[in-house]
Structure 1
Amino acid sequence: MEKEFTLIATAAQGLESIVADEVRKLGYETTSVENGKIIYKADAQGIARSNLWLRTADRVKLLVGEFQATTFDELFEQTKALPWEEYIEEEGNIPVIGKSVKSTLYSVPDCQAIVKKAIVERMRKKYGLAGRLEEKGALYRVEIALLKDKATLTIDTSGSGLHKRGYRVKQNEAPLKETLAAALIQLTNWRPNDPFVDPFTGSGTIPIEAALIGQNIAPGFNRAFAAEEWGIVPSKVWDQALTEAEDLANYDQPIDITGSDIDHRMIEIAQGNAQEAGLADIIQWKQMQVRDFNPKVKNGYLIGNPPYGERLGEKKEVEEMYRDLGNIMTNNPDWSVYILTSYQDFEKVYGRKATKKRKLYNGFIRTDYYQYFGKREK
């Protein structure tokens, strides 16, 4: 029987339900959906498939153990009692990171040092080593997270965050994370045969994520993960997961996706990123002002992350942009419009109250996702 692991898919605030849906669609039953994390059981193949397919999760972590700890002795002994050798190979590289929230053990550096010492002692004993660990092998980044005196110990299977798909060679000053861009799309009922436009495309993240979703391309297909070097996830498991991803991709799916921006430099960057993603001929790119947008087809979707008007002198310009967009879309009631912005008076300037509004965080910026559902024409 395949060894079963407890995995934690971490998520940005407000995206937990979307990540949980993705986990379930992969065939894994969630045991808990909490603030910032989705907990579920999976085998080694589940580690590979989760990293390849989860579009909106930040990372996939392997849970080693949980316990209460209010003293350093408790933290040390209970960490040492966990079966680290079942996960980490003899020469594994074991950096330890940490965080502590509302806990008696508040010194993160001390907690990290104690956890590291406990793991090393356990490993030395189990592997029969007299000296220090070599740590020349695969990366096993351990995290000690303390919340209200409950210690949670995990190993990061992803390596770089899952938002790093590998295609964004260049970006603008305030890029939208790929995981959030994918979430914005998945919060709509857009389908690959519907027209799709992002008039504030910047470095092209939203259209590129839409193309990946539209053609069912695994977001992690072109990057590496920490667990690829682990003995508990053999190379044949990764080969199987990659073969599955290749088989499930629908490269022949026709899609109508356009990204536009007022800045020609951004269009050049977006084109380069699309090429890196293997989508050079799939997405149309245009240099264009929002006021010049004139839908030629019916039943489209406009999804955008426009400037928020937070910089000095930008507010008036941004308000004019929102107003222009509102006027255009009022004349195209069959189109659905989805806008992410932190600008509090967006509905007033746009000219209409949103059908639905959802609170999300773009990095540390609190934003609202304004959703206007179009009346589809037959």
Structure 2
Amino acid sequence: MEYTIIATSTFGLEKVVANELKALGYEDLTIENGKVMFKGDEMDIVTCNMWLRTADRVLIRMAEFKAESFEDLFQGTLAVEWGDLIPITGFMHIVGKSIKSKLHSVPDCQSIVKKAVVESMKRKYRRDLFSEDGAEYKIEVAILKDIVTLTVDTTGPGLHKRGYRGLAGDAPLKETLAAAMVLLSKWEPSRTLADPLCGSGTIAIEAAMIGRNIAPGINRSFVSEQWEIIPKDLWEDIRKYANEAINDKEFKILASDINGSVLKTAKENAEKAGVGENVVFQKLDIKDFSSKKKYGFIITNPPYGERLGEASEVEALYEDMGVVYKSLNEWSFFAITSHLGFQKLFGEKAHKNRKLYNGRLLCYYYQYFSEEPKKEKRQEDKESKSEDIWK
């Protein structure tokens, strides 16, 4: 069956998600704020949940229509053949949101939609009562300027829940955003990569998973795995393919932090993610970070100084980061922060910056690019492996 599939994203990452979809072979994409839409079937639902690194969720759009009254909302919802997706035992969980719309009471909208979905189910199954003790079907009614979009979530817990991260630091970076930072940098495993403020290791781990071609959803489950419309063997086939697609590339990512206890957690996370051999952890102050290698990458998520009393420490840290950057030989540098004075403290204007949201916090992704090494130079660097990869 063909569906309109929506891959949702954090604002600012829509094109990154679209590029991922194109790499997976999808065309005719429609990009809007916070989402990318395309046509697909059950296999595409499974594939996108398994492989998308930067999307938040994969939804099925069931309907879109204008509603200025509860009757409009009821009739628009009733027109959908919900029974084609939801079985007789399906648990119909309704959530909602309303922005700049006449129908502003979200609880009332949820109630109206639930009644209309049940009436549609009655029409399909010719019965009045439903046990709702089966698989979950989370239906969202989203109303923006009186336009209603009805979707069903195929993911369950957000796609950033890879399954490898237990405890995180004080300000954890979502896995999806970390993966986006790596993809935007254009890093590849032939180049040295370091995160000298690694915290729980998310950036390094996501980069290693990209380098090894490990599907981000390979070690987790999805709510639609329990759905009748998606055969169990389809999930098994996609997982089997994902396991076979993992490569054995040999590369090392450097992850360091001054906090020894958080490094222990980072190491555990890397092992759970299957990249323990690809990430080298070390307790190190960023002021002491150095390397004789050329054309390396630093990708990092430093503290932002949002907490009371942290501002002066963070500003000193940014100055230290600038000193380290200038000491490195033709490295590229990428940092995300909400601190508007970053460039001045760092001591150099970014070649490019991009608005991104870390949770609800507006940040900028500052990007400093070096020249790309020639092919023969890359091979030379690859062959001259030092015993101490930190040098």
For the aligned pair, the TM-score class normalised by the smaller chain equals over 0.9
8 Å CA contact 1:194–1:256 kept in 2: the answer is no
**Which residue in 2 is equivalent to 1:365?**
361
3-state SS of paired residue (1:163): coil
The 8 Å contact of residues 9 and 38 in structure 1, kept in 2 or not, is answered as: yes
1:301 equivalent to 2:297? Answer yes
Aligned counterpart in structure 2 of residue 22 of structure 1, from 14, 20, 23: 20
Between the aligned partners of 2:237 and 2:28, the Cα distance in structure 1 is 23
1:48 corresponds in structure 2 to: 46
Whole-Å Cα distance in 1 between the matches of residues 302 and 98 of structure 2?
35
Q: Which residue of 1 aligns with 2:155?
A: 158
Distance (Å, rounded) in 2 between the aligned partners of 1:233 and 1:226:
11
Q: Given the alignment, which residue of 171, 174, 179 partners 2:176?
A: 179
Report whether the alignment pairs 1:71 with 2:69.
Answer: yes
Q: CA deviation at 1:239?
A: 1.5
**Alpha-carbon deviations, 1:107-157, whole Å to 9, x = none?**
100000010011111112311223x21011111000001111111111000
Which position in structure 2 is the counterpart of 1:107? 105
1:316 corresponds to 2:308 = no
Contact 1:333/1:375 (<8 A) preserved: no
Kindly state the Cα deviation for residue 280 of structure 1 after the two structures are TM-superposed.
2.0
8 Å Cα contact 2:18/2:29 also seen in 1: no
Q: Distance in 1 between matches of 2:172 and 2:149?
A: 32
Q: Which residue in 1 is equivalent to 2:81?
A: 83
Contact 1:30–1:38, Cα closer than 8 Å, also in 2? no
CA contact under 8 A between 2:351 and 2:369: conserved in structure 1?
Answer: yes
Residue of structure 1 in register with 2:119 after alignment:
121
Answer whether contact 2:290 2:327 (CA < 8 A) is retained.
no
User: Alpha-carbon deviations, 1:272-303, whole Å to 9, x = none?
Assistant: 11111122222100111100001132211000
Structure 1 equivalent of residue 385 of structure 2: none
Specify the SS of the correspondent of 2:92. Answer: coil
Structure 1 gap ranges (5+): none
Greater displacement, 236-245 / 299-308: 236-245
Q: Quick one: which amino acid aligns to residue 17 of structure 1?
A: K
Identity of aligned residues (%): 49
| 1:71 maps to amino acid | S
1:158-182, Cα deviation, whole Å (9 max, x unpaired): 0000000000011112100000000
Name the SS of the counterpart of 2:256 in structure 1.
strand
Aligned partners of 2:290 and 2:328 also within 8 Å: no
| Cross-structure match for 1:198 | 195
The residue identity in structure 2 corresponding to 1:82 is V
2:28 & 2:16 partners in 1: Cα distance?
A: 12
Q: Which runs of 5+ in 2 are unaligned?
A: 378-391
Amino acid at match of 2:207: A
Using the TM superposition, give the Cα deviation of residue 376 of structure 1 relative to its aligned residue in structure 2, in angstroms.
Answer: 4.4
Deviation string 1:212-233 (CA, Å, 9 cap, x unpaired) is 1000110000000011111111
Cross-structure match for 2:271: 275
Shift of 1:334: 1.2
In the other structure, the counterpart of 1:236 is 233
Alignment RMSD (CA, Å): 1.1
Distance 1:113 1:66 in 2: 18
Q: CA deviation at 1:235?
A: 0.9
Equivalent residue number for residue 257 of structure 2 = 261
What TM-score results when the alignment is normalised by the length of structure 2? Answer: 0.93
Alpha-carbon distance in structure 2 between the residues aligned to 1:280 and 1:357: 31
Measure, in 1, the Cα distance between the counterparts of 2:157 and 2:372. 41
Whether the aligned pair in 2 keeps the contact of 1:31 and 1:40 (CA below 8 Å) is yes
Q: Check whether the contact 2:292–2:328 (CA below 8 A) recurs between aligned residues.
A: no
Matching residue within 333, 336, 341 for 2:337 = 341
What is the match of residue 210 of structure 2? Answer: 213
Name 1:226's counterpart in structure 2. Answer: 223
Equivalent pairs counted in the alignment come to 374
TM-score (norm 1): 0.97
